[in-house]
Structure 1
Amino acid sequence: MDEKKLLAERFEAHRDHLRAVAYRILGSLAEAEDAVQETWLKAERADTTQVENLGGWLTTVTGRVCLDMLRSKKSRREDSLDDKPTEPVVRVHRRTDPEEEALLADSVGLALLVVLDTLSPVERLAFVLHDMFAVPFADIAPIVERSPETTQRLASRARQRVRGKSVAEDADRSRRHKAVDAFLRAAREGEFEKLLAMLAPDVKFRADEAAARLGGTALLDGARSVAENFNGQAQLARTVLLDGEAGALVAPRGKLLLVLEVRFDGDLISEITAIADSDRLAQMEVSLP
């Protein structure tokens, strides 16, 4: 048996699983079938001879395909496969049975699908792969281009929404956003005492190597040191959401220079991290609240 035919048979053994993954991420059986077919095309072109866990590898590829589909909001692919090799034979699904989709939606839960639609693409992917299919965060992180820790936070935030706690979570996020906005305003206006009042006594400021080159400070410890560092500064900083959490960015003339990740302990800011490394910046999802 030639390698491609063997790969096709092994792929078929995983097809139902891949379709289940894709359906829960995309919420459409037609799009799920397209995602699975795209996964096959990628597998066909790849060298899988050294892949020990083909099922896990295929799941990862399917997740990446689905994320691209969510981000681009493309409709179902209609590409002709006439120019593709006819061997090995792998099924191409162009139509879906409405009854089959209804049964699948019922098995997943229509309410869950509705909630999943409220999540961002990366939140949805992280939640589905980890909570529904037990994919480790370390394996999901490269797909969403985040660290494993950030990926875990994405899944946790999605889990809160799925469990019906999104209203309280959104309120907390809004409160933190307003706190960051107030902190930056106090910094710009040189209101030192206000800055102190918003900082935890043991607050820490850290800057990555690229950010330290811009500002000259890599580490500060304690409320007074951090407040002095920001007092009269932050003229170009703007409050945003970084991976769904309150933070800030500096983007003079529209060019992203650095971001500030802000962590809270209750109502007080407990940690500020300045990040200017281009690779790390490229991995972040920046949005307005």
Structure 2
Amino acid sequence: MDIAFTKMQGLGNDFVVINTISQPISLTSTQIKYIADRRLGIGCDQVLLITPPPSSQVDFGYRIFNQDGGEVEQCGNGARCFAHFIHHHDLSNKNILRVATKGGVIQLRREENECVTVDMGIPRFDPKQIPFKVNAEALFYPLTVANQSIKIGAVSMGNPHCVLQVPDITTAPVGAWGLELESHPLFPQRVNVGFIEKISSHEINLRVYERGVGETPACGTGACAAVAVGRKQGWLDESVSVHLLGGSLHIIWQGENSPLLMTGPSKVVFEGSITLNISN
């Protein structure tokens, strides 16, 4: 079968976006991995599916699959590309969209210059909601990685994140520590790992090792998680510029019981179709 797709990117985090409303299809994990394969398929960090709204309370459904074929709860950069796709293909004329994800409902607002603001909801610090197998919620959690004692913060932005501060982002052991922490037994659903270098109370550098993918040029939920933890621990302000390898995002979080807002760009790279066989 031939499937139409749009290749998109948000700060270098790239996606294959497929409209399953106009072309009703069900993709297997093997087919997802084939599409995401950079040698054999199209190539991307994640495959995003536009689906019919699961209820009258939302405009669309939004499903996210990693390179390894596993479905995940949330993707911030993908959400901005999702909103861009909807307007690019004239699927809605609303400036504000409500979208259902596996991690909950998010709100997307179209801005100028191909930017989108995503209302990511209220950060969840309760370990049971992350999920994180510790006895009680804390600002800092001690862990051991590569035989070294470290302290992390943990939060769910609809998907699980742990974050830690490092003195220099360029020399941080993102690959080695990210791989080990991603599959740490205290995170039963695995975890995304953020490495933060603080520049000031309103500016940070960030690198993220994404579960099921590895390090990517940018991670929207990772940027949100970094600011949420930094605010919670008391060393970041309400409005923060987050500099990632692929570019910058602007994050605003007023604090407890307030939704976190992320603003950043998204772009269409190219459009095409791919032929999938049952064996793919």
Q: Is the pair's TM-score, using the shorter chain for normalization, greater than 0.5?
A: no
Bigger Rg, structure 1 or 2:
1
Structure with the bigger RCO (C-alpha within 8 Å, sep 6+) is: 2
More strand per residue: 2
TM-score, L = length of structure 2:
0.29
More helix per residue: 1
